[in-house]
Each structure stands twice: as C-alpha cells, then as structure tokens.
Chain A
Amino acid sequence: MRLSWVRALPRGLWGSPGVPELCRSLCQRPARAPTERGDTAGTPKPRGPQRRHPTEGDTARGDTPRGDGDTARGDTPRGDGDTARGAASAWHRHFQEIRDKERGPEPRDHRRGHLGGDTSWGGTSRGDTFRDDTFKGDTSSSPPPHHRSHQHHDDSHQQDPRDGDPSEPGSPRRGPAAFEAALRAMERWPPGRGGRLALVEAALAAMEALGVERSVAAYNALLRLLPRGPWVPRGPVQRLLFPFPRQQECGLQLLEQMERYGVIPDAETRFLLLGVFGPRSRPLRKVQRMMFWLPRFRHLDPHPLPPQPTRPGLAAARLGLHRMAGDPGATVTVIQPPVPDTGDDEGSVQPYIVSSQSPEQRELLAQHDPARAVFVEGPFPLWLRGTLLKYFVLRGDPLPPHLRDPPPDPERSFYFPLELQLELERGPWDDEEFDVDEVEEGPVFALCVPGAGDRRTLARWISALQEQNPILGRAPVVFRLNEGGADPREGPQTPRLGTGTPPGAGLEPPEEGERGGEPRKNNGE
C-alpha cells in the first residue's frame, strides 16, 4: 500500500495550513496507470497538461492560485509547450471563434475565466463578429497549425444580420455533424500531445454556437476525449485528498453545462465518467445526482418553450403571442408579412405585424363605449429564453364602477334563479378569497408583436383590427408609446426592419392628430 509515506510526515503537518496544498501537489503527481490505449497512456505526462503551455498555465494559476510552483517552473516546459500550444490552442481558438461569432462578446459562459481572460489572442477574434470560418472545410484536413487558423477567416459566409434565422438546414457550420467532424479531426491529433482539458473546455464553450448544446451524445463524445484511467485515484487516501482537482473541475464543468441546458445524462455518461474519474469521485457523484433529479424536474415547467432557442422574427412573435394570450380560442394572425407577396413592393422588406385577439376580447371591444378612447400601449418586453420581444397592447380604460357590474336581469334564466334575494352575506370561514389589493386595469382588447414599434406600423395594425372590430373606426385611438418597458437607451430611430429586437418606438410627434383608427394613406400599401 502506498500509504506508508504518510507515516513519514511530521505530525504537525496534518493540522497546519500548508496541508491541503501539499496534499494536492502530492495527488497530482503522475498517477500513471497502465492503460490499454496509447491515446490515453500518452496523455498524462509527468506534468499535468495544464502546466504545459503558458496560456493554460495562466488559467491554472487563475483557478488554483496555490498551484504547485507553477511560476517557478514556468519556463521549463515552454519548449514543448509550443507544440502543445499549436495543437490545443488552434482548436481552442477555433471553438472560441465559433462561439464569439454566435454570441457576441458577452462573458456569460466564461465561467472558468480562462477563455475570456486570455487576452493574448482573444482580442483578434473577438469583436469582428462578421468573420466566419469554413468549419467543415477544416475537418477533412489535418489539424490546422497555428497560422492556418487565420487563413480560414474568410468573409464569404458573412452573417447577414437581416436574415432572421441563420441556421438553415444543411448549414455546414452548425449541428451535430459539424461538431462530430471537429471531434474526429481532434482525435486525429497525435495523442498525448495534451491539452485535452483545455480542448474540452473550449469545446464546451463552443457547443451552443454549433447547436449541439442539448445533445447528450455530444457531451459523451467530449467525455470520450478524456483519458480513461490515469485520473482515477488509486486508493482511499488519495480519494480522500481531493485528487486531480483541475481534471475533476473540468468534468464538473461539463456536467454543469448539461444541467444548464437541461440535458439529462444517460447511462453512458455515467460510464464514461466512471472510467475517467473513478467511482465516488465528484463528477460521478454529480452525475448520479443529476440522473436522479433531472428526470424528475424535466416536466416541471407548465408552459414549456420549444427546446430550440427562438430568434426574433415571425415565429418568435407567434410563439410569444400564443404564450401570452392563453385562451385557446385566440387567433394569432399575421397582419403584415415581413416580405409582401404581391404588389409593387414585392421583395422589399417591411416590418411584420403579428396580432392576437380572442373572441372574448372581440366581444369586450364591441361593448366598448365608442365615446371613450382606446389606447395603444407599449412596447413591453417579453423574454422567450434569451430572446427579447417587444409587444404592444390595445386596451381601454377601467370601466367606471356603475358600468362594471350590470344589474342582474331577473328574466334571464328560464330554469333556475340566478340570484337570491337575501340579505345574508358570506361568512368569514367560507371566504376563500385572499385579501389582495388589486390594481385596476382596463380590459386588453388585442395584443401585437410588430417588427418595428413606430406609429405607422401600429396604425396599420389598428386598421387591420378594424376589419373585425368596426368600433375601432368610431372610437378614438390614442398612442401611448415608450412608456413602461421600453429601453431608455434606445431613442427614436429608424427601425431595422425584420431583424433583431424591434427597437422601442420613440414618442414621435403625432403625425395626423390623435385619431389613429383611420387607415393611413401613406402606409406603403
């Protein structure tokens, strides 16, 4: 048993503050296990892969600041660190570019810090969001050397900000096929050239961009990149002493990402983790808990969104309206498509208008007193996962109390009395209503998600509603825009048509008086 050396330690050490570091350094010593595949056998060099190259060294320092004298020996491995850098960081960068392009420079996923914190080359790829790479083209060739990675930044696939959803089917840049191709290429890289942890981390960050963040098979494939055996603690004491922290952190990070996306690990995930980290290790504990809880939480959301993230556009607008207007009888209509089908403007771009109105709302609107105004209010924010939509409501003022509850008609029900003539009220024990201070709100007559929030678009919406609600022609329509919910940073500006989040409409000076009910002449139709 390898425990014998413990006895040699001075007694005072067990309690001293230096112990954890010592233990950690001891445990991270080469735990070379005789493994069957050269691929894994070669990986763990006496130094952990994180100590190989300076960038990773940085991260290691960032994560475990009390690393085992990394700074002291920082220079020594630099020689072979170069090759490792060429290997790992090319892919690394590759993944990162993919991610950056999709995501923009938000640091949301930079949980480990080393991807975002690595400023040596991060600046080149971050920021120029229009750069794209032919990912698939790479995959057939050998792993790209350092200089080639820039070569692939061609502008041919420049992402058009106007097209609503860049993930057209068969796109080479996204999807499980692209991811698999990348992994295959990675496997071809000479084994043992290290950087596996960094690779996995980079790949994790890029998964969303590749569109595989919800596939358990992708995570399993990533786990297969990790060596089986060498990170398994060798005995009870090593297991006790927080073994292979950085490696295990990597496994945990992978699991956390799965958790974040609601991916339920399967038996294979557990099996792979078992091979990599051994039984009762932290990743294994976590995966077991996840396998216990995640299936139970899977259907927790009573109003689930579709698994694929929605991009702002017609589909998202429909989805948002369906979610907001819960009435199954509500009809969601596209009043104005983003691209007109007919007419002179065919092919041009105009803001879409999607409207929702239920029969009940129509009835309410029909009962509205035309002498009193109806209001178009908005924009209000609506988040569908990460997508922000802006919606507008058509509403009336709260009814005056004497109109709210019309006196019950005694000649209403042929068969039974609808009310009793009693002076007895409900007793306190059967009063199940909570004491709630209710905010008085007027009825909402219709909802709309337009492509642009300017008055012209909204007026078009109102005039389209008028077909089914003739009362809108008689009642004054007042536009109360940019109150409550509009982003104050967005001033009045020309709408970017059809893309992105519709900007909050500025409170424009009234164009043609306050009556917006009439169809406009110059609305481009």
Chain B
Amino acid sequence: MAVASPSRARHGQHGRSTKPSEGRAAWWRCCRAERGTGGRAAVPPSRARDRRHKQEFFPYPEISNEELAEINEFVGPVEKFFNEEVDSKKIDQDAKIPPETLQGLKDLGLFGIYCTPILLYLKWICLGGRGGLGLSNTMYARLGEITSLDGSIAVTLAAHQAIGLKGILIAGTEEQKAKYLPRLASGEHIAAFCLTEPGSGSDAASIQTRATLSEDGKHFLLNGSKVWISNGGLASIFTVFARTEVVDKDGQVKDKITAFIVERDFGGVTHGKPEDKLGIRGSNTCEVHFENTKVPIENVIGEVGGGFKVAMNILNSGRFSMGSASAGMIKKLIELTSEYACTRKQFNKKLSQFGLIQEKFCLMAVKAYVMESMAYLTAGMMDRPGFPDCSVEAAMVKVFSSEGAWACVSEALQILGGLGYMKDYPYERYLRDTRILLIFEGTNEILRMYIALTGMQHAGKILTEKIKYKGNMGVALGEFLTRLQDTLGRKVDLGLIGDRGVVHPSLQESAKKLEENVYYFGSTVRGLLSRFGKTIVEEQLVLKRVADVVINLYAMTAAISRASRSISIGLRNHDHEVLLTNIFCTEAYFKNNYAMAQLEKYADENLDDSIKKAAKQILEKRAYICSHPLDKTF
C-alpha cells in the first residue's frame, strides 16, 4: 500500500484559514497548493497542510475488516432479493412498485441505510426504537450499486432517505429525530422532499407556498402546491419548504424560506395522480397540495427562516451515491452485452472480435471503473470524522457518473443493435431510466456552475490575499516570471511520484499527466480570475470548461489513487485496473489540455462569441431560422 508521505513542500501555501466554509472544495485545496508557487515570501509555506491535501486522496480510503464483513453480510440478501424477487419489467409496465416488493425492501432495512451517525444509532437503541442500520456513506454507496439494478426502486429509496428524511437527520432537533427517524428508518413511514413548485426550480425567490403563523403562535398554516414530488403519493412524512415572514435584525419584515416536517395526518394534504414518465416509471411522482395544513411549531426544521440552508445542505449531500449506482448498472450491462457479443457471429467472426465493438467495452469498463473510484473515494472522505463538507466532490461524482452512465447505456444499445431497441429486452428500460440522472438532484449544468464557482471563490480569495499582501507590482512580476518559466518548459513535480511519492511507479505516467494538468490548471484559473474578476459568474461557457477540467482531474486522482492501492495490496486483476487507469488518464489529459487551451483564449477565438451570437439569433425568433435548402430567391 502506498504510504502517504510528506511532499516536497516546495509549493507555497497560504495561511491557515479557519472559516468553516473553506472546508468545502477539498479538491480545490489540492489544486491551490500548486497554484501558490512563487508565493513563498507572501505566505508561510506549510508542509503539514500540503501533506494533508494529498492525504485526502492518497491513500484510497479503506474500511476495517469488521465493517467490510458487516457490509457484505448486509449486501448478500439484498442482492439475492433484487435478482430473484424484483420484476423490473413489471414495475416498468405497471408504473408501480408492487406492495410485496416494497415490503421486502422494508424488511431488508433498505429504508434506513442512511441514518448515518452512530450516535443516533445508539440513541435509538437506548430509546428502544427499532430500525436504522446506522451505516456509513460507504455502505450507502455499496447498496446503491445493487438497488440501481432497478431504477424505480433506486429513486424511491433515494427520495426517501437521500433527500426525504435527510432534513431531519442533519438539521432536526433530538426530539424530531426521536419522533420521526425510527419509523422512517424502518420504512413504516416513507418520506418525501417537497421543494419544486410550478414556478420555482432552483430559484428560492419564486417559491409561492406560504406558511403563516396562527394567532396562538403554536401552529403554522401551510398553503400551496408542489410539483414532481418523488414518493408524493406514498409518503406520510414530507419535508416542505415554504415562505414565512421573519422579522429581520433591523426590524424589517422579510419573506424567508423555512423547512417543515409535515405529516400527512395533519390534514389538508392531497396529492395528484402519479405522473406518467419516460423512465423510472415505477417510482411515484406527483403533485402535492397543502391546504391550510396545520403544522405545529415544533416541526420547523432548523430555525424559522433558516430553510434555505437546510435545503442546500440536503441537496448538496446526497449526490455522491449516483456514482456507485451508475457503476453498478454499467457492470450489469457489461455482463449482459458481453454475453451477446461473444455469441453472435457475423462474417464468421464473433462480434467481440471487431475493433469497434471492443472499443465500446473498453469505454464502459473505464467509465465504470472511474465512477466507482470517485464514488467510494468521496464516500470514504465523507465518512471521516468531523463531518467534512464534500459537496463539490459529490457534485463532481454526480456529473461524471450521470453522463458516463448515459454514454455507456447508449453504447451498450449500440452493441446490441436492433435488439437493444426492443421492449422485450431490458436494455431500452435502462436507457430510459438513465436519462433522468442528468436531470434530477440538480441538473448537470447547474452543478457545473456550482463546482466551478465554488472553486473560483476559493481560488479568488487566495489571489486577492496575495495581491493585498504583495501589492500589484509584485504579483505582476511574479506572474511574469512564472509565465516565462512555463514557456521555457517547467518540470512539474507535485510529489505524487518519485522517492517519497504516493503513487505506485507503474502509474507514474498517469500521475505525471495529472500533475502537469493540475499545475497548468492552476495557472489557467489564476489567469481567468485576473481576466474576469468577479464577473466570471456571467461567463458560463468559461465556467463549464473549468468544471469539466476539475471533474476530470478529480476522476484522474480517484482512479490513480484506487489503482495505486490495488497494486500495492495486490488485489485480484490489479493489472487491469492499471490499464484502465492509464487509458482514462491519457484521454482525460488531452481533453484537459484542449479545454485549458480554449480557456486561455479570448471569447472571439474560442468560439464563445459565435456560439452566443448564434443562440441569440435563434432565440430572438424562437425558431430555427435558416432557409430551407430548397428555397430560392429568383
């Protein structure tokens, strides 16, 4: 096993920042370690800190043998259940999960995987409560791998625990937890998360549902309707976000978002009929209406007016499991399609002998490997003590895995040809189910903005601090020297490889590529910040590229870290892992270089201007405005 070793620490690092908000963007901390080159005089270098950054990713997180045994013990029956009892085709056709399947899931305890903190677990036992397994994020990721074999069930479970009851879990009072969690964890009650409204997706300002305090001050009256609520028809506990009037510090009355726990029994809760969807048809999605629902004041999650933070935390924390879920699905698909490719013969050759088919299998394996690595790395980081904020990493996992899953399913269908298109086979269902991954839990576009902007905010702080400390001339000079050095050819060494490196030597090529990318990405970001300043928020095309590069860097890191560990401890088929890692890293390296080359250019050179202009012309007319190719003027 690769040992985490102190780095060369030739990279300057800025002073210790104590703000908790800086806890996010762990990856950025890693990036910025490299960005600080030349800042030695400005800020005291901190070896320990630098080492810590590396330690977050190297070595790959592990769990203890007991935990592993526990997980395996738990996974076995679940896997059996999914293989034998779940009829995905029927669920898809009937657009309903049959009650006995649902009961089976509850019996397996799948509705309570995510009631994380061990303390809580102990407390429930003390309280004599049944239910929650109190397993870690890693466990949740592992189970997601299996539950994803049926998209509808996976979404039902995710809506229940990744977002539905998460509010109570992370921001609820002890009383609320004691009151609701046991029954939610056992599956007796199902939870739903009610945020989206007809006029409000990600914009909090357009939420119309309103909660007004009753005269006695003990209840809120909830009015409004929510749309596209997963589990809306099944749930009996809702996490609802509504506008409330809050008196500001300066005495002004303001509308602020508040989160409530609403039981169906409070009255006035109705739901529409289940929506007919493209994929994940078995999951229950419907409108939920609240009409003068009386919510006791104890059921406010967090504080009154603090719903925004609750919502953000819930949304930010639940995403990482999509990586393992997608990987699980792709692994299953590889089994199914390779079976087909190795038996079907054309021109006296098996399909598997054609290069173009082989390429597709390689792609699927690489994607599955990388997203798995990312998911478990993130889960491992989240399981570390102290509730580290890994929302950026989780978002990266979500973006990478949802897009990878969509590409892989599409390629799998391509391997199968016409067969994949037929309803008799499960493949088209996978395709339909996968499409939602790009959309829900924050669309990939929005998450890209989140990833890039969160990082930019962090990097920008460092840059401004440096400017403040050294003055403009010094920074400019340093910048100039760095540029000069870069053009003359700099050997980037971030301490991943070499004598005291953390990466196995057989991965050193990939690690070198990662280091180089990270270094140049640092200078690219610095350039972007000095070009755009805080107006970079408006430059979405730039931010998209930044986000893409970051996602690739994180993916490379995760893959290298995992493969390094596999070789070091001698896992089975670790040479295959090395192969996949090297393939991925090489590809990603070129993609990153391309994106960074574009980022260095101005808008008229990297097509951004033209893209925006074309879109503007189309949107002005709200139509495709080209003349028909058969049109004439004379």
Contact = CB atoms under 8 A, between A and B. Distances in A.
Interface in A394-451: 409, 411-427, 429-430, 432
A416 B446 contact: yes
Interface of B: 195, 202-205, 256-257, 308-309, 311-312, 315, 442, 446-447, 449-450, 453-454, 456-457, 460-461, 463-464, 529-537, 602-603, 620, 622, 627, 633-634
Contact of B457 (A264, A420, A430): A420
Main secondary structure of the interface of A (DSSP, over half): loop
Q: Which of A294, A296, A427 has the most CB of B within 10 A?
A: A427
10 contacts: A264-B633, A295-B634, A328-B622, A411-B256, A414-B195, A415-B312, A416-B454, A422-B534, A424-B460, A424-B534
B315 A411 contact: no
Contact of A417 (B457, B602, B633): B457
A266 B449 CA distance: 56
A296 B202 CA distance: 47
A426 B460 CA distance: 13
Nearest to A421: B457
A157 interface: no
B456 A420 contact: yes
B530 A299 contact: no
A181 interface: no
Main secondary structure of the interface of B (DSSP, over half): helix
A413 B202 CA distance: 6
Given A409-B205, A424-B460, A424-B533, A415 B308 contact: no
A328 B312 CA distance: 35
Contacts of B627: 299
Contacts of A384: none
Contacts of B203: 412-414
Given A416-B454, A422-B529, 9 more contacts: A409-B205, A411-B257, A412-B203, A415-B315, A415-B447, A416-B450, A416-B453, A420-B460, A426-B531
A251 to B, nearest CB: 20
B87 to A, nearest CB: 36
Contacts of A388: none
A429 B531 contact: yes
Given A414-B195, A417-B457, A423-B464, A430 B532 contact: yes
B461 A422 contact: yes
Nearest to A424: B533
A291 B603 contact: no
B62 to A, nearest CB: 32
A411 B312 CA distance: 10
A298 interface: yes
Nearest to B454: A417
A295 B457 contact: no
Contacts of B634: 264, 266, 291, 294-295
Interface of A: 264, 266, 291, 294-296, 298-299, 326, 328, 409, 411-427, 429-430, 432
A427 B530 contact: yes
Nearest to A425: B533
A132 to B, nearest CB: 38
Given A411-B257, A430-B532, A420 B453 contact: yes
Given A420-B456, A421-B457, A430 B602 contact: yes
B603 A430 contact: yes
A427 B534 contact: no
Contacts of B529: 422, 424
Contacts, number: 102
B464 A424 contact: yes
A429 B454 CA distance: 24
B293 to A, nearest CB: 23
Name the 3 nearest CB pairs between A and B, nearest first: A424-B533, A295-B633, A295-B634
Nearest to B535: A426
B135 to A, nearest CB: 28
B315 A422 contact: no
Q: Which of A296, A411, A415 has the most CB of B within 10 A?
A: A415
Given A420-B537, A422-B460, A424-B463, A414 B531 contact: no
A414 B311 contact: yes
A354 to B, nearest CB: 23
A426 B530 CA distance: 7
A286 to B, nearest CB: 16
Nearest to A431: B535
B464 A422 contact: yes
B308 A419 contact: no
Contacts of A414: 195, 202-204, 308, 311-312, 315
B204 A427 contact: no
A406 to B, nearest CB: 11
A421 B458 CA distance: 9
Q: Which of B205, B447, B533, B620 has the most CB of A within 10 A?
A: B533
A425 B464 CA distance: 11
Given A264-B634, A296-B633, A432-B603, A412 B533 contact: no
B537 A413 contact: no
A388 to B, nearest CB: 27
Contacts of A266: 634
B446 A412 contact: no
B633 A299 contact: yes
A215 B324 CA distance: 70
A299 B454 CA distance: 47
Contacts of B447: 415-416
Contact of B308 (A295, A411, A424): A411
Contacts of A411: 204, 256-257, 308-309
B534 A419 contact: yes
Contacts of B602: 429-430
B530 A424 contact: yes
Contacts of A424: 460, 463-464, 529-530, 532-534
Contacts of A420: 453, 456-457, 460, 534, 536-537
A270 B442 CA distance: 64
Contacts of B464: 422-424
A415 B460 contact: no
